[in-house]
Amino acid sequence: MKRLVAVALATILLSPAFAEGDPTRGQQDFRACAPCHSLQPDRNMTGPSLAGIWGRKAASLPSFERYSDALKSSGVVWDDRSLDGWLVDPEAMVPGNDMPFAGIKDSRARADLLAFLRQATKPGAQQQMAQQGGMKGMGGGGMMGGMMGGGHDPDLKSVEPAKQVKAITYCHDTYRVTTADGKTRAFWERNLRLKTDSGKDGPHRGAPALVPAGMMGDRADVIFAAPDEISKTIEGRC
């Protein structure tokens, strides 16, 4: 029996899923994760920050408030084995979780991604990488800004006049947004998203910011400091 256990353990440890990965390739793979997950401590996005994830119990980051009930009750502790299983198929590992991710079936790609994350999520890793000029030590060519999770958010407390919202009217299917530079821009209602940002980079109360989006500038976000400002700012007027 002991021999069988030893053989099974050796097989697992030597399998491609647990083989030593290439962090440089893993850094490239992390591009797909960066829009939703930051590497900066407590900078949460669509998903929680991954900083310090090794050894952390699933759904336990105090600063993140959107964990699914399934993940909260899973009892999972993140390590090489559990993270590899999660990357294979999150839904199979924790049924009912909210992560919209089909998984990575290529064991080598998972090993590479884990190798990158193992280094990039360690305490102090961000400061060290920044001092090294991004990811030079890992062959990244200074790409760490994007790897930190979508790049740095703009400070919406000090935007230029063209982004300072002064008034918003709504008529039929159209929003018209007037900014501090005196211009009014019209947006189809499905092309204008109303958001809030209560963080340090969010706008001042009563001073929502217009953030253009879309290739032609035909889409945009209007970001408020708090939800109660939205109805107060938008006037139904044709």
pLDDT in tens, 189-230: 999 999 999 988 999 999 999 998 876 667 899 999 999 999
* Per-residue pLDDT band at 137 (split at 50, 70, 90): very low
CB contact set of 17 (below 8 Å; sequence gap of 6+): 84, 88, 107, 110, 111
Give residue-wise pLDDT tens across range 83-101: 999 999 999 999 999 888 8
Q: Which residues pair with 66 in a beta bridge?
A: none
Map out the domains of the chain as residue ranges.
2-147, 161-236
Q: Residue 20: which pLDDT band, with cuts at 50, 70 and 90?
A: confident
Mean pLDDT, to the nearest integer, of 136-158? 56
Give the pLDDT band of residue 65 (cuts 50, 70, 90): confident
Tell me which DSSP letter residue 164 carries.
B
**Region 2-147: CATH code:** 1.10.760.10
Biggest CA-to-CA distance, the chain: 81
How many other C-beta atoms are found inside a 10 Å radius of the C-beta of residue 91? 14
Cα gap 136→229, rounded to integer Å: 44
Q: Would the pLDDT of 14 be above 50? A: no
